[in-house]
């Protein structure tokens, strides 16, 4: 929790929800493997703060809509929903057990701006300003799959598009997108060694 406050100014409600979030994930992780047993001890660094790097990339206008495609255990969607209560988030994953757990976490947090559904991304009919992904597939494959979900027009300074959490050498992956793709180093915002080499890729539609 202190790790989040190191980088973000939080309301009392956000502090309460981020504190509860850690307890909820540990409880649910005993029932279903949302996060590797080894990694759960690093939940705030590896998953919550990593997800919140997107909040460092851009401020968001209330009413902005997100689809978190292949959300898995609810990342980055749930931390972002706590950070941006005026925005709405649709979390989708094909694995029912994970979505059941994610819905349980959402309910316990009393998050009214999030909905989680069991669905393959290809079957979604909703549209959003941004589609987020994290270790789902290659960037090119991910963009091809989700581009139909991104609506035209911009209500934020960051153009509508894909926001993808990735790592490693990405120049070859983003080359086909030309000037539509931008890479941001998360280590520019967070000083922990874990974030060295980790990046956000933004591809505008």
Q: What is the pLDDT of residues 39-82, one digit of tens each?
A: 999 999 999 999 999 999 988 899 999 999 999 999 999 999 99
Whether the per-residue pLDDT at 135 is higher than 80: the answer is no
Dihedral sign computed on CA atoms, order 141, 103, 15, 44: negative
Residue 35's domain comprises: 2-204
Q: What is the pLDDT of residues 153-164, one digit of tens each?
A: 899 999 999 999
Going through 94-157 in order, the beta strands assigned E by DSSP cover 114-118, 130-134
How many domains would you assign to the chain? 1
**pLDDT, position 69:** 96
The confidence band for 136, taking pLDDT boundaries of 50, 70 and 90, is low
In sequence order, what are the residues at sequence separation of 6 or more whose Cβ sits closer than 8 angstroms to the Cβ of residue 169? none
Task: Give the C-alpha separation, 120 to 67, whole Å.
Answer: 12
Strands 65-69 and 88-93, by their bridges, are parallel
8 Å CB contact between 95 and 118 = yes
107: domain CATH number is 3.40.50.150
Beta bridge partners, 88, equal 65
The backbone torsions φ and ψ at residue 89, rounded to the nearest 5 degrees and listed phi first, read -135, 130
The confidence band for 177, taking pLDDT boundaries of 50, 70 and 90, is very high
8 Å CB contact between 48 and 73 = no
SS3 39: helix
In sequence order, what are the residues at sequence separation of 6 or more whose Cβ sits closer than 8 angstroms to the Cβ of residue 200? 53, 54, 57, 163, 164, 165, 166, 183, 184, 186
Higher-confidence residue: 38 or 175?
175
Instruction: Tell me which residue has tokens 């120049």.
Output: 171
Instruction: Tell me which residue has tokens 């997100």.
Output: 66
The confidence band for 129, taking pLDDT boundaries of 50, 70 and 90, is very high
SS3 198: strand
Whether the per-residue pLDDT at 27 is higher than 80: the answer is yes
**pLDDT, position 104:** 98
Mean residue pLDDT of the chain comes to: 95
Strands 198-204 and 161-167, by their bridges, are antiparallel
**pLDDT, position 134:** 87
Run of H or E residues at 16:
helix 12-29
How is residue 76 written in tokens? 């980055």
8 Å CB contact between 76 and 56 = no
**pLDDT, position 94:** 96
Task: Give the C-alpha separation, 85 to 49, whole Å.
Answer: 17
């Amino acid at each position: 929790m202190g790790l989040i406050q190191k980088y973000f100014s939080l309301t009392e409600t956000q502090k309460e929800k981020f504190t509860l979030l850690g307890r909820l994930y540990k409880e649910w992780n005993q029932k279903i493997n949302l996060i590797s047993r080894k990694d759960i001890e690093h939940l705030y660094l590896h998953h919550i703060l990593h997800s919140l790097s997107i909040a460092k990339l851009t401020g968001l206008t209330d009413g902005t809509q997100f689809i978190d495609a292949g959300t898995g255990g609810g990342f980055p969607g749930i931390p972002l929903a706590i950070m941006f209560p005026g925005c709405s988030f649709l979390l989708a994953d094909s694995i029912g057990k994970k979505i059941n757990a994610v819905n349980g976490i959402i309910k316990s947090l009393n998050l009214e701006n999030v909905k989680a559904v069991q669905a393959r991304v290809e079957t979604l009919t909703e549209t959003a300003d941004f589609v987020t992904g994290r270790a789902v597939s290659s960037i090119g494959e991910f963009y091809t799959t989700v581009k139909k979900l991104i609506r035209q027009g911009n209500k934020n300074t960051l153009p509508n598009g894909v926001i993808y959490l990735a790592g490693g050498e990405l120049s070859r992956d983003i080359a086909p997108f030309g000037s539509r793709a931008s890479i941001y180093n998360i280590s520019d915002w967070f000083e922990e060694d874990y974030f060295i080499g980790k990046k956000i890729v933004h591809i505008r539609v």
